[in-house]
Amino acid sequence: MNRISDPQNDPTPDHPKGSPDDAVAYDPAVRLRGPGVGARRFFLFGASLAATVYAAWLMADVLGADQLTIMEMVVVAFFSINFAWISLSFFTGIVGLILRGLKLDAITLKRLKPIARKGPLRSKNVVVIPVYNEDPNRVFAGLRASYESLAATGEIDAFDFFVLSDTRDPDIWIAEEMAWAKACTDLNARGKIFFRRRAENTERKSGNLKEFCETYAANYDHMIVFDADSVMSGDAMVNMAYLMENNPDAGIVQSPPQPTGRQTLFARILQFISRVHGPTMSAGLSFWCMGSSNYWGHNAIIRVKAFIECCGLPVLSGKPPMGGHILSHDFVEAAFMRKAGWRCWLIPQLEGSWEELPPNLIDFAIRDRRWCQGNMQHARLMVADGFKPLSRLHFFMGVMSFASSPLWLLLLLSSTIATLQNTQLTYSFFPGHFTMFPQWPVDRSFEMLVLLIFTIGMLVLPKIISILMVCLGRDRKQYGGVMVLMSGLLETLYSALQAPIMMMLHAQFVFSVLTGNQVGWDAQERDDAGVPFRAALKTHRTIIVIGLIWGAIAVFVDTAFFWWLSPILAGLVLSPWLTHYSSNLAIGKAARRMKLFVTPEEYDSPEELRALERITAENGGGGDVKDGLLRLIEDPYANALHSALLPARKPDARTAIEIGIIYEKLARLGIESLTRDEKLLILSWPVKPLDQIMAGRDASAEKSPDVLS
Amino acid sequence: MTDLTIASQGFSYASFESAAMTRLIEDTAHAWLRSFGLTNASAKQRLVTALRDALAQDSFAANDRTNMQDLLDQAAHDTIGGWFAQVTGQHDCYGSGKFSMLRCAFLSANRDGIWSEHFLDQTRTHHDLAIALSVQMMLPTPSLKSCEMPRQTLERRAS
């Protein structure tokens, strides 16, 4: 263990038995270590604390010029908590900007240079893709693009691919099997690309991975976890494996995934700002997190042995949503890795790591609702025994990414109440008795302006500097040339309008979770789906009403206060229009033509993304998910493949009777008569009766063969 | 009169086969051939013969359609499994998983029908077909390597 890299007194973790790091000289050029970890954190947290204290003092000074009421104290308290949150983000961004500006490696603080591998990989790696009711065409297009890119590096022998299906939709299930077989055939990758489906999807994604770990993962040294929409370049995957080989104490190496591929205005705006400002934040995070970085659940490589030994997730006491199985497993897995002494690294310069975003604000919010439920569970883990302080901070940050919204809302509401109270008060020039000197009202408008600029500056300054850096950089053409400034300006305007909407939605989500409401588990929307205006209006109607009432109260209280609140009120009232128009594909494409929100991948697409586009086009843009059962009946190959992929077992007597009844129903009433669960049941067992139906041999089928079609 | 007595009296099974039985055998053969994507007449004749042979060698209640069906299906499965064993030189071709994999491989290899004539033909050498099957064999998962992933607790330090 390298003491320079982390001052915390970690136990050195055991290295995987038989792994290449037992008796091999490590490449010093890629050793993950750097100077001054304690100093980095002292600077970052110290600066954040100092800025928060200053801002809190300024706020107390502004509000308490005359006298600080209880409600104003509440305002100061909420403001301080929220300010600490944005302050940490601000200084992370500032550090990231400095590192990017000086082209320094965030970990070693040396000149940034690409990873130069010395020799081929020695480890055996697997790319795992857990899927749940996802579009098989998109999943396998991503897999194939990544596979082709990996093959081009010459390191394909060091990798296998594994699709871990938890799919419950019978049609998607069969389509996945067919897509797997096609990928194996087309890529000549039999024995390289594997497929398995879980019969029971307990514990969702983490359970899916757990089951894989307990069955096949021990064949490998490392696993790269993909999301259903992930694509990675071969170089990125090989570099990650190389980093793991040469850093035997690394448990997780996380690449910063860049969003790409969506064309709606909403997604394009997010893709643009993630591409411009994301590397800044990644560099800043990596700078102070060092070996205690977080794991984001995908586009990361994991040491299999370490993961198996220390990342079996506990079940939280109590009922969901705050108890039960852990939903947002990634943070927790990283925390357990750290607890056992393994290091988790975020490597900002790992390029070629891609993901996709939800296409519109509604789907974005739906994803956030799911994440909110998982992240709120982390509030319980923050105080659990044995975790490292930085792991607790990651939990806190996860909680605050949602809990900050109700806190901002409470801050704004308490400000409104405080202003209302102040308007009801009659100013007393002689608050004390027996004095000859009046107490004049103090004008704090200058301090208020300073505080406003200070707060807004903390929020947007790193982002603005990131945009300026791109604009002044040599590769600005890849971001649309000088239009990058216009893109940045419009993004700032858009995010300002969107922020209050997300604040209201997140506040609603947090309230919903805390009052015991749960959400289900659905696949994310991965097409460029638009939101009709009526749907947007229906979704946001409560927000609009709140905005209008709040605005009316503000006007009643104080016109100046109304204008103070107007950016927030505008976001709330305009929410359906914002959601509807930002989801519009035509507007997104028009923006592209105007060189707005352009990312380098659109200017000069990397090979793996070109492959993804090509394969998606070859698949005809999806639509290959047919009726799975009908497919098995009609297509002998699909039938044989499905039989081959089923586990070898026999149904018990009760199940056999149930299956018999369903086949009877199928023969008499046709496929349309079967429910999803009925289809799932008969597809879960050997399909010999389907052969009988195919042959028209079954008496019922003989009578009415057309009912099956 | 059972098949056993027929056989012991020296009559051939086929001469005593009822029309219903013929239909059942034909349909069974047709279903199995269709599941291999085959319509080849020679292949069908070989399977029908194999099914008749299997029936002739067994005794069962002739009016029990369900039993007969099971017997015929089992006979077809065994016949094809045996042929796969001969082709591939492997003995574990009868299990449902391996059998289905071989069915997949045969369907892939025989997309243009070049191996249809070979189906169930015991007299040919099948070296090229064996290679074609091995090329097309799917492997859904690597070897199983079971281990336990212990649940961590929130009360103690991880080991």
Q: H helices within A515-606, ranges in order?
A: 533-557, 559-573, 575-582, 585-593, 600-603
Q: How many CA atoms lie within 13 A of A312 on its CB side?
A: 16
Cβ B43 vs Cβ B34: under 8 Å: no
Local confidence band at A264 (pLDDT 50, 70, 90 cut-offs) = very high
Contact B145 A218 (CB under 8 A): yes
Distance from CA of B93 to the nearest CA of A (A): 12
Q: Report the residue of chain B nearest A220, measured CA to CA.
A: B145
Contact A214 B149 (CB under 8 A): yes
pLDDT of residue A440: 66
Mean pLDDT of chain A, nearest integer: 89
pLDDT of residue A694: 45
Render pLDDT for A519-542 as a digit per residue (tens, 0 to 9): 766 666 667 778 999 999 999 999
Contacts of A190 in chain B (CB under 8 A): 137-139
Mean pLDDT of chain B, nearest integer: 83
pLDDT of residue A627: 84
DSSP summary character for residue A428:
-
Contact B103 A697 (CB under 8 A): no
How big is the CA angle at A631 (ends A629 and A633), to the nearest 5 degrees?
75
What is the count of residue pairs from A and B with beta carbons less than 8 Å apart?
A: 131
Output A668 or A171, whichever has higher pLDDT: A171
pLDDT of residue A67: 74
Does A17 score more than 50 pLDDT?
A: no
Q: Which residues pair with A198 in a beta bridge?
A: none
Q: Report the residue of chain A nearest B70, measured CA to CA.
A: A688
Does A84 score more than 50 pLDDT?
A: yes
Local confidence band at A356 (pLDDT 50, 70, 90 cut-offs) = very high
How big is the CA angle at A260 (ends A346 and A244), to the nearest 5 degrees?
25
pLDDT of residue A9: 41
Contacts of A688 in chain B (CB under 8 A): 73
Contacts of A312 in chain B (CB under 8 A): 149-152
Render pLDDT for A581-636 as a digit per residue (tens, 0 to 9): 999 999 999 999 999 999 999 989 999 999 999 999 988 655 567 788 888 888 88
Which pair of structure tokens corresponds to residue A161?
């691919």
pLDDT of residue B5: 47
Does A704 score more than 50 pLDDT?
A: no
Local confidence band at A25 (pLDDT 50, 70, 90 cut-offs) = confident
Render pLDDT for A420-472 as a digit per residue (tens, 0 to 9): 877 776 666 666 666 666 666 666 678 778 888 888 999 999 999 999 999 99
Contact B152 A384 (CB under 8 A): no
Cβ A324 vs Cβ A518: under 8 Å: no
Output A437 or A19, whichever has higher pLDDT: A437
Contacts of B140 in chain A (CB under 8 A): 194-196, 644-645
Cβ A369 vs Cβ A519: under 8 Å: yes
What HEC string does A333-355 produce?
HHHHHHHCCCEEEECCCCCCEEE
What does residue A374 show for φ and ψ, rounded to 5 degrees?
-70, -45
Q: Report the residue of chain B nearest A325, measured CA to CA.
A: B151
pLDDT of residue A687: 62
Residue-range domain boundaries for chain B: 3-136
Nearest residue to A107 (alpha-carbon basis) of A292, A326, A305, A340: A292
pLDDT of residue A248: 96
Contact A312 B28 (CB under 8 A): no
Rounded-to-integer distance, Cα A599 and Cα A467, Å:
12
Does B87 score more than 70 pLDDT?
A: yes
B10 touches chain A (CB under 8 A): no
Give me the sheet containing A258-259, strands edge to edge.
A231-232, A353-355, A258-259
Pairing of strands A300-303, A222-225: antiparallel
Question: Could you say which of A308, A313, A639 has the minimum Cβ distance to residue B35?
Answer: A639
Which pair of structure tokens corresponds to residue B31?
């279903």
pLDDT of residue A201: 87
pLDDT of residue A14: 47
Contacts of A181 in chain B (CB under 8 A): 104, 138
pLDDT of residue B3: 47
Contact A697 B27 (CB under 8 A): yes
| Cβ count within 10 A of residue A43 | 15
pLDDT of residue B12: 54
pLDDT of residue B97: 84
Residue A259 three-state SS: strand
pLDDT of residue B114: 93
Output A659 or A297, whichever has higher pLDDT: A297
Contact B141 A216 (CB under 8 A): yes
Residue A379 three-state SS: helix
Local confidence band at A660 (pLDDT 50, 70, 90 cut-offs) = confident
Most B CBs within 10 A among A193, A214, A333, A380, hence the mutation to make, goes to A214
> Is the previous residue joined to A16 through a cis bond, with omega within 30 degrees of 0?
no
Biggest alpha carbon distance in chain A? 111
Contact A694 B34 (CB under 8 A): yes
Local confidence band at B14 (pLDDT 50, 70, 90 cut-offs) = low
Render pLDDT for A313-331 as a digit per residue (tens, 0 to 9): 999 999 988 999 999 999 9
Contacts of A697 in chain B (CB under 8 A): 27-28, 30-31
Nearest residue to A82 (alpha-carbon basis) of A455, A460, A563, A500: A455
Render pLDDT for A534-565 as a digit per residue (tens, 0 to 9): 999 999 999 999 999 999 999 988 888 899 89
Tally the residues of chain A: 709
Q: Which residues pair with A159 in a beta bridge?
A: A125
Rounded-to-integer distance, Cα A388 and Cα A182, Å:
46
Residue A165 three-state SS: strand
pLDDT of residue B57: 79
Does B65 score more than 80 pLDDT?
A: no
Contacts of B47 in chain A (CB under 8 A): none
String of b and e for A218-243 (b: at least 16 CB within 10 Å)? bbbbbbbbbbbbbbbbbbbbbbbbbb
For tokens 């419950």, name the residue: A168
Query: What is the gyration radius of the CA atoms in chain A, in angstroms?
Result: 28
Rounded-to-integer distance, Cα A408 and Cα A424, Å:
24
Rounded-to-integer distance, Cα A101 and Cα A270, Å:
23
Rounded-to-integer distance, Cα A98 and Cα A293, Å:
20
Alpha carbon of A253 to those of A89, A158, A229, A294: distances in Å? Answer: 22, 18, 19, 9
Question: Could you say which of B96, B142, B153 has the minimum Cβ distance to residue A216?
Answer: B142
pLDDT of residue A451: 85
What does residue A524 show for φ and ψ, rounded to 5 degrees?
-75, 145
Does A110 score more than 90 pLDDT?
A: yes
Rounded-to-integer distance, Cα A657 and Cα A413, Å:
62
For tokens 């016949």, name the residue: B79
Local confidence band at A648 (pLDDT 50, 70, 90 cut-offs) = confident
Output A560 or A574, whichever has higher pLDDT: A574
pLDDT of residue A242: 97
The helix/strand count (H/E) of chain B reads as: 6, 0
Query: What was the ipTM of the complex prediction?
Result: 0.84
Q: Where are the beta strands (DSSP E) in A279-347?
A: 300-303, 315-316, 324-325, 343-346
Contact B104 A637 (CB under 8 A): yes
Q: Which of the residue ranges A104-108, A308-312, A662-666 would you say has the lowest mean pLDDT?
A: A662-666
B115 touches chain A (CB under 8 A): no
Q: Which of the residue ranges A63-77, A156-170, A240-254, A322-336 would you say has the lowest mean pLDDT?
A: A63-77
Question: Could you say which of B32, B140, B151 has the minimum Cβ distance to residue A644?
Answer: B140
Render pLDDT for A500-517 as a digit per residue (tens, 0 to 9): 999 999 999 999 999 998
Which pair of structure tokens corresponds to residue B6?
């027929």
Cβ A443 vs Cβ A429: under 8 Å: no
Distance from CA of A197 to the nearest CA of B (A): 10
Alpha carbon of A312 to those of A19, A169, A216: distances in Å? Answer: 21, 27, 16
Contact B104 A644 (CB under 8 A): yes
User: What amino acid occupies position B146?
Assistant: S
Contacts of B109 in chain A (CB under 8 A): none
Does A11 score more than 80 pLDDT?
A: no
Q: Among positive and negative, which fits the CA dihedral A60, A63, A64, A70? A: negative
pLDDT of residue A624: 65
Local confidence band at B71 (pLDDT 50, 70, 90 cut-offs) = confident
Return the percentage of chain B with pLDDT > 70, whole number.
81
Does A577 score more than 90 pLDDT?
A: yes
For tokens 């997140």, name the residue: A506
Contact residues, B window 88-107, toward A, CB-based 8 Å cutoff = 95-97, 100-101, 103-104, 107
Distance from CA of A341 to the nearest CA of B (A): 9
Most B CBs within 10 A among A190, A331, A391, hence the mutation to make, goes to A190
Does B4 score more than 80 pLDDT?
A: no
Contact B35 A336 (CB under 8 A): no
**Section A404-414 average pLDDT:** 91
Most A CBs within 10 A among B147, B148, B156, hence the mutation to make, goes to B147
Render pLDDT for B22-63 as a digit per residue (tens, 0 to 9): 888 998 898 899 889 998 999 999 999 999 998 887 655 455
For tokens 């291999």, name the residue: B36
